Chain A
Amino acid sequence: MQTISDLPWLSILIVVPLVAAALIWLVPALQRVARTVGLVVSLLVLAGFVVMATGFDFGAAAEHQLTEQASWIPQLGVSYAVGVNGLGLALVGLSVFLVPVALLAAWREQEVVPEGAVVARRQAGFVALVLALEATMVAVFSARDVFLFYVVFEAMLIPVYFLIGSYGGPRRRYAAFKFLIYSLASGLIMLVGVIALGILGPGGPDGFLVDTLAGAELGVWQERWIFISFFIAFAVKAPMWPVHTWLPDAAQQASPGTSALLVGVLDKVGTFGMLALCLPLFPEASRWAAPVIIVLAVISVLYGALVALGQRDIMRLVAFTSVSHFGFIVLGIYVREEVALTGAMLYMVAHGVSTAALFLISGFLTQRGGTQQIAAYGGMQRVTPVLAGTWLVAGLATLSLPGLSGFVPEYLVLLGTFRVNIVAAAFAVLAVIAAALYILLPYQRMFTGPRNESLAALPDLGAREKWVVAPLVAAMLALGFVPGPVIDVLRPVAQEAAIEQPSSLDTATGAGPDGSSDAAAAVAEGSEK
C-alpha cells in the first residue's frame, strides 16, 4: 500500500489523458483508431483512479491526501500543488467515470461530417478534446494552489469551447461564443481577486498555496471584495440565476456527450470553488454574503424549475433543471449547516450522474428522431421501450424519487436548511413539486400517447448504447440505496466546512448520523412503495 500512495497519482491522472490527447491529435496513424484509443485511455485513467483511491485514507477524509508539491513560478509565489480531500476525490471520481461513458455514447456521433471534412480527423479531434478536458477536470478538482486553480479554470475553457463550437448543432458558434465570453469575463474578474490575494497574502515562494492563504489576515472589505470577485466567476460557472443564460444555449447546441460532461462535471467547478476556496479563504465574507447568496440560490431553484416547465427543446429543458439543481447545491453550501453541506456535496456527485444520463439518453433519442423538439415525439415507449425506460429512470433520479440518486442529497439539503432557515427551505421545497412536472410531462408527451407514425420504425437502444446506460443506471441505484460510503467520505469535509458557524456547532455531533439514518429510513420507505 505504501508504494501505491507514493506514486504521484494525481499527476499521472492529469498527464496521461493530456499526452494521449496530443498523440491522437498529432499522429495520423492513431486517428483512424482514435475512438478506441480514447476509450482505452479513459478506462485506464478510471482504473488508475480506483487504484489511487485504495491509497486514500478514508478515515481522514477531511484532510488533503495524495498531495504533491513542487515549485512552479517561485517569483510569483506559484506552486504546482495537488491533493484531494473527500470532496475532491468524489469529484475526480465522477469526472473519470463520466469520460469513458461520454466517449462511448458519442461513438457514432461524428460519422456524418460537414462537407470537406475527414471523418477520422474529426473523430480524432473530438476524442483529443475530451481527453484534454479530462486532464483539466482532474487538475481543477485537485489543485491546492489558487494560481494553479485559476490557470486550469481558464485553460479548461479552450477544449470546451472547441467541443461546443466544432461538434454541435446549427447555432453552435453562437453558443460557444456566448459560453466563452461569459466564462472569460467572469474569469478575468476573478483574476483581479487572485492578484489582490497574492499581494495581500503572506507572499513568499509558495504564497499562493491554499494552506498559506487560509490564515492570511485580510482587511474586512479587502476580504469581501476578493470574495465577490471569486464568487462571480463561480456563480457563472455553476450557473446561478441571473448569470445562467449561457447554459441553455450551450447545452442545446453542444453534442449530447459534450453537454453531459459540461453540465455533469464542468459546472461543478463553480460549486467546488465555493466549497474549496471561498469558505476556507474568506470565512467572514462568506458569512457576510450568505443571506444574499441564499436568496439568489432560492431564486435559481424556483426559476430553473419553472422555466424548465416551459421548454419545448428537450436539451434546454435538462439545462434548466440543472439551474434549479445548482440552486439547491449553492443553498446547501451557504446555509452553512453540516447536514445541508453533506447534502450539497452528495448532490454534486448525484446530479453529475443523473444529468449526464438524461443528456446522453435524450441524445440517443434525438439522434434517432433528428430533432430536439419535444412535440415531435409521441408514443415512443412502444417503439423504443428500453430507451424510454432508462430515460424515465434518469428522470426520476432527477426529480429525487426515493431509491434513486437524487433523493438523499435533496432531502439532506432541505433538512439542513429547515434547521437554520425555514423560509428558504419553504420556498425551495416548492421546486420538488415542479420537478415532478418538468420530468413527467415531457415523458408523457414524448413516450406515451398516440404513436407518431413517422418515427415508428426507429430502433431501440443498441448494445453499445446499453453499455453506456448500464453504468449510469447502476450508479444512480447505488447512490440511491447505499449512499453511505459516499456520505462517509464527504461528511468529514462538511463538518470542517460548517465549523465556522457557531450555530451549527451544537447540532454538529448528532446531525450527520441522524441525517443519513433519516435518509436511509426514507429510502427504505420509498422502496417499499
Chain B
Amino acid sequence: MNFVPPHIDWAALTPVLIVLGAGLLGVLVAGFVPRRARRGVQVALAALATASALVAVVWRWTVVQVEGPREIVGGSLIEDGPALLAQGIIALVALVGLLVVADRSEWGEDAFAAQAATRPGSPDEDEAQRAGMSQTEVFPLVLFATGGMLLFPAAGDLVMMFVALEVLSLPLYLLSGMARRRRLLSQEAALKYFVLGAFSSAFFLMGAALLYGFSGSVRLSELAMAVPSTVGMDGLLLAGSVLLVIGLLFKVGAVPFHTWTPDVYQGAPTPITGFMAAATKIAAFGALLRFAYVVVPGLGWDLEPLLWGIAVLTMGVGTVIAIVQTDVKRMLAYSSIAHAGFVLVGVIALVEEGIGAVLFYLLAYGLATVGAFAVVTLVRERDGAGTVTGEALHLSQWAGLGRRSPALALAMTLFLLSFAGIPLTGGFIGKFAVFAAGVQGGATVLVVLAVLASAAAAFFYVRLVVLMFFTEPDGERTAVVKSEGLTSVAVAVCALGTVLLGVVPGPVLDLAGQAAAFLP
C-alpha cells in the first residue's frame, strides 16, 4: 500500500495557520518575554493574528469567488462559500471578543485569576494577587480555540471535524475555570463543561465510527454518495447520524443537550462567556449546516422528526426557563439556548436560502452576544466599604442603570432588542431570514412556534430594559467601571454592527446569498 502525501494548498490554509501560529508564538511569549512586557506583547499578538486572519479570509473569499470552491488538503478541508463566510464571522466575533478579554479595570485588574493554579481562598492566591501577576496564557488559549473554530465549519471529513471540535473545546474548558472572582463556581463550570464536553465528543466519535462502518469512508462527500446507494444498512447509518448530530447539538446547546450551558456561562469569566457563546455557536452551526445539507437530504425522513422535536424543545425550554432567571448571565445563557432553537429552524429548512439566513442570524446574534456580555463585565457591585468588586449579576442590581450611565444602558437595550427581534436591529433581519427559509422549507408550523417563543422571550428582554430605565437605582450598591477602554470599543463596535445589520442589511445579505451552496 502506497502512501501518497496529499497536496496541500498552503495559501488556502492561511487564516488557520496565522491564528494557530500566533497561538504557538504566544506560548513562547508567555515563557520568555519579561513579565512587564508580556501582557502587552500577548494582546498585540493576539489582536494582530485575529485581524490578519480576518483579512486572509476576505482574500480567500475573493479567490474562491473567481476560482470556485474546492477541496484542500486532499478533501479533509473544504474551501467554499459557507465555510469562508462562517470563518469570517468567527474571526470578526473573536476579534471583538478579544478586546473584551484583554481589557482591564482602571486599577489594572483583568477578568482572570492572577494565578489559576492557586487554590481559591489560599494564602498563595492572596500573594499572587498582591504581586499583581496575571495569567497571560489566556491569549494563546483564545487563539487556539479560535483556530479550532475556523477549522470546524470547513471540515470535509469526520476526522478533521473531530480534531477541530477538540481543538476548539479544550482551551475553552481551561478558560472557563480561570475566573478571578467566584473561583469555585468557575472551576465547577470548567469541570462540568469538560465532563459533558468529553461525553459529547464520545457521542460524536461513536457516530463517526458507525458512519465509517456504513460507507467505508469518513469523507462527507463519499458518505453523501453512499446514502442513496447502499441498501440494507439503514440501522448503521441512522444510528451514526443521530449520534453525530447529538455531538454537534451538544456544542450549540440544544435541548436536551443544554444542561451544561447555564452553569458554564454563569461560572466562566464573563469575557470568555461572551466569546464562547458567540463563536462556538457559529462554528458548531457551521459544521452542523454542512452535515445537514451534504448528508441529511438523503435521509430527511428519518432525521427530520428528531430535529423538529429538538428545535421545538430548544425554543420552548430556553424561553420559558429564561423568564424565571434572576441572574443576568444565566438569563443570557437560556436566551442563547432559545436562539439555538431559532437557528435550528433555518437549518431544518434545508433550502438554499437557509444557509445564508442561518449565517446572517449567527452574525447578528454573535455581535449582540459579545456586546451584551461586554456590558456585563462593566457593571460591578460595591461591598460595604464602597470598594468596587465583582460583576453585579443579580437583575435587581441593574435597576436604574439607564440613569447612571445612559450610553451603556442604551447599548445593552440595543442588544436586547436585537435578541428580541425588534425591527431596525440585526436580530430582526436575521429572524426574518431564518423564518422565511423555514416557511419556504415547509416548516410553517415550526415558524409559528418560533414566533410564539419570540413573543414570550420578549418578556424577559424587556424586563431588563424596564429595570435599567424605569426603576429607581437601589442606593450605591452598583457601580459602572470605566476600564481601559477596550471593552467600550467592543461595545461600540457591536452596537454599530447591530444597527447597521438592521438598517442596511443588503450587502451582508448579498454575501450570505453568494455563500448559499456547499461543495458536497
Interface residues of A, Cβ cutoff 8 Å to B = 72-76, 114, 116-117, 150-152, 154-155, 157-158, 162, 165-166, 172-173, 176-177, 180-181, 184-185, 188-189, 191-192, 195-196, 198-199
Contact = CB atoms under 8 A, between A and B. Distances in A.
B506 A74 contact: yes
A191 B473 CA distance: 36
A180 B435 CA distance: 22
A191 B458 contact: no
B169 interface: no
B447 interface: yes
A192 B423 contact: no
Interface stretch (B55-63, B219-227, B230-238, B448-456): B448-456
Nearest to B417: A158
A75 B432 contact: no
A114 B435 contact: no
Contacts of A191: 431-432, 435, 451
A162 B424 CA distance: 17
Nearest to A162: B469
A225 to B, nearest CB: 9
Contacts of B171: none
Interface residues of B, number: 39
A154 B431 CA distance: 14
Contacts of B436: 76, 195, 198-199
A75 B455 contact: no
Contacts of A152: 423
Given A73-B509, A189-B451, A196-B439, A165 B466 contact: yes
A117 B462 contact: no
Given A76-B505, A152-B423, A165-B469, 14 more contacts: A73-B429, A76-B433, A116-B403, A151-B428, A154-B428, A165-B470, A181-B459, A184-B420, A184-B455, A185-B455, A192-B439, A195-B436, A196-B444, A199-B440
A75 B506 contact: yes
A78 B423 CA distance: 13
Interface string B462-473: 110010011111
Contacts of A157: 422
Interface of B: 403, 417, 420-424, 428-429, 431-433, 435-436, 439-440, 444, 447-448, 451-452, 454-455, 458-459, 462-463, 466, 469-473, 504-506, 509-510, 513
A48 to B, nearest CB: 24
A210 B516 CA distance: 29
B423 A173 contact: no
A243 to B, nearest CB: 14
Given A154-B423, A158-B422, A184-B458, A195 B509 contact: no
Contacts of B440: 199
A61 B151 CA distance: 61
Contact of A76 (B432, B463, B470, B504): B432
20 contacts: A72-B506, A73-B505, A73-B506, A73-B509, A74-B506, A75-B505, A75-B506, A75-B509, A155-B422, A166-B469, A173-B466, A177-B463, A181-B455, A184-B462, A188-B421, A188-B458, A192-B435, A195-B432, A195-B439, A199-B440
A346 to B, nearest CB: 31
Contacts of B435: 191-192, 195
Contacts of B472: 114, 116
- Helix, strand, loop or mixed for chain A's interface? helix
Contacts of B513: 75
Contacts of B471: 173
Contacts of B509: 73, 75-76
Contacts of A173: 466, 470-471
Nearest to A125: B406
List of 8 A-B pairs having minimum Cβ-Cβ separation, nearest first:
A75-B509, A151-B423, A185-B455, A154-B423, A188-B455, A165-B470, A184-B458, A173-B470
A12 to B, nearest CB: 19
Contacts of A155: 422-424
Contacts of B432: 76, 191, 195
A264 to B, nearest CB: 24
B439 A199 contact: yes
Contacts of B451: 188-189, 191-192
Contacts of B504: 73
A189 B462 CA distance: 18
Contacts of B424: 151, 155
A181 B458 contact: yes
Nearest to A181: B459
Contacts of A196: 439, 444
Contacts of A195: 432, 435-436, 439, 447
A181 B463 CA distance: 10
A270 to B, nearest CB: 18
B509 to A, nearest CB: 4
Nearest to B400: A116
A180 B428 CA distance: 17
B510 A177 contact: no
Given A116-B403, A176-B466, A192 B447 contact: yes
A75 B462 contact: no
B423 A177 contact: no
A74 B513 CA distance: 12
Contact of A172 (B429, B431, B470): B470
Contacts of B439: 192, 195-196, 199
A72 B507 CA distance: 11
Contacts of A189: 451, 455
B368 to A, nearest CB: 16
Nearest to B424: A155
A133 to B, nearest CB: 15
A195 B455 CA distance: 16
A295 B268 CA distance: 57
Contacts of A162: 469
B479 to A, nearest CB: 16
